[in-house]
Amino acid sequence: MSQLIDNTPSTPGKLKPEKSLYIHNRFKIHSSFSKLTLWFSFFLAFIIFFIIISLPATTPTPFSNRRSLGATWGGSDWEKSVTKSARRATNRAVLVTGAAGFVGTHVSLALKRRGDGVLGLDNFNRYYDPNLKRARQSLLERAGVFVVDGDINDEALLRKLFDVVPFTHVMHLAAQAGVRYAMQNPGSYVHSNIAGFVGLLEACKSANPQPAIVWASSSSVYGLNSKVPFSEKDRTDQPASLYAATKKAGEEIAHTYNHIYGLSITGLRFFTVYGPWGRPDMAYFFFAKNILKGKQISIFQDPDRGTVARDFTYIDDIVKGCLGALDTAKKSTGSGGKKKGPAQLRVFNLGNTSPVPVTELVTILEKLLKVEAKKKMVPMPRNGDVRFTHANISLAHQELGYWPTTDLETGLKKFVRWYLDFYSGSKKKSAW
């Protein structure tokens, strides 16, 4: 009873000053345990941090410039391969980035055929089947073009390449392509199309002599522009996708390096390039694949149930535009990172000037493949795609002599012939 009385408040709402030994000890134990947990957490975090920084850099961060970004490079044999590939019969030595890509392969072969020194650079990423990229690499090697397995974000590699070869030109075609993939992996676009471009321009502005640069922008920069055909003077401040935004950013970055360092820079806005050795993520490519497999294909419609149209441009025409831009590029005016005078800055549309509805593309593929497609019309998703593209190429025609000559059916016929040959399992046939 006395214990019960002692633990009862003498005044309602107030406890007696003395606390039970049980409560006091419980509080002390709880406090000690909390401190112990806190210190253990700090210790564990420190151990994890130490382990992480001690690990070898097998998976580089997006903006790392470590040598591990690419495959192994360097050594006397490697340098001999680089030098031999860049050896030239003309006055041009060209570094082609993205050389194992679709456009990069065709441009590299065209440059090599006419006697230019050509060195390729590609990181062979897995955005689409790397086996196709390796097959293109084999094609280039048979033509005498060595492709360095490395990344444009690798500062040490770029510096080494410019030390070994005094490039007169850079054909920058490396990029993270694709409009829809940006919704899955946005960081890859910033890594390649912005950080990678800046890294390359840094290497170029520090080189002596500075090379002239031709690089691949995109028709995607026109975004939500409704004025047709698209002209280089039209507004490009309404990108419809992250991919388009990174290409627009590239054009602004090019202006900056031209203005500050005297780099001669030409940007090319490609319009829906197609043809042999193309990209599997492009509609014409996966339409052909799915039609042959009897799978259903989805064809986008705009909100008014009108079909989507594209200014499909055959790869050989694009190559002519790339070479025309390179041949008319003036020398950079800087040296060792210092500008000595105004430098050339240009941008051109490279298209076919004849937009074709995607439904017509499918009809042509059905005819060439001799298989009827299982078609499904679906609303255009809000993923960055635009309803139509249409190039005004008058400036490119005037300045570069550019004029496309391949209509869609002729170009698709060449693509289908290559596709059936390449995927038939027979590697002995020529794909050209």
- Catalytic, out of 128, 243, 257, 274: 243
Pick from 362, 422, 383: which is nearest to 243 by CA? 383
Question: Judging by DSSP bridges, how do beta strands 93-97 and 169-172 pair with one another?
Answer: parallel
Record the tokens describing residue 398, joined without a space.
Answer: 């005037």
Look up 274 and say whether it is catalytic.
no
10: Cβ contacts below 8 Å, ≥ 6 apart? 16
CA distance 206 to 188: 26
**Residue 114 CB coordination number (10 Å):** 12
Whole-number Cα distances in Å, 302 to 179, 338, 386: 17, 50, 9
Dihedral (CA of 166, 169, 171, 174) sign: positive
Angle at 241 between CA 239 and CA 244, to 5 degrees: 60
CA distance 208 to 206: 7
The CA-based diameter of the chain, rounded to the nearest angstrom, is: 111
**Residue 135 CB coordination number (10 Å):** 17
Pick from 361, 181, 391: which is nearest to 283 by CA? 361
CA distance 352 to 21: 90
Pick from 79, 150, 92: which is nearest to 118 by CA? 92
Q: Helix (H, G, I), strand (E, B), or coil: what is residue 32?
A: helix
Q: Helix (H, G, I), strand (E, B), or coil: what is residue 6?
A: helix
Dihedral (CA of 250, 252, 256, 259) sign: positive
Q: Do the beta carbons of residue 155 and residue 199 sit within 8 Å?
A: yes
* H runs (alpha helix) in 127-265: 130-142, 155-164, 186-189, 196-206, 242-261
Helix 283-292 vs helix 358-369: crossing angle, to nearest 10: 40
Supply the residues annotated as catalytic. 243
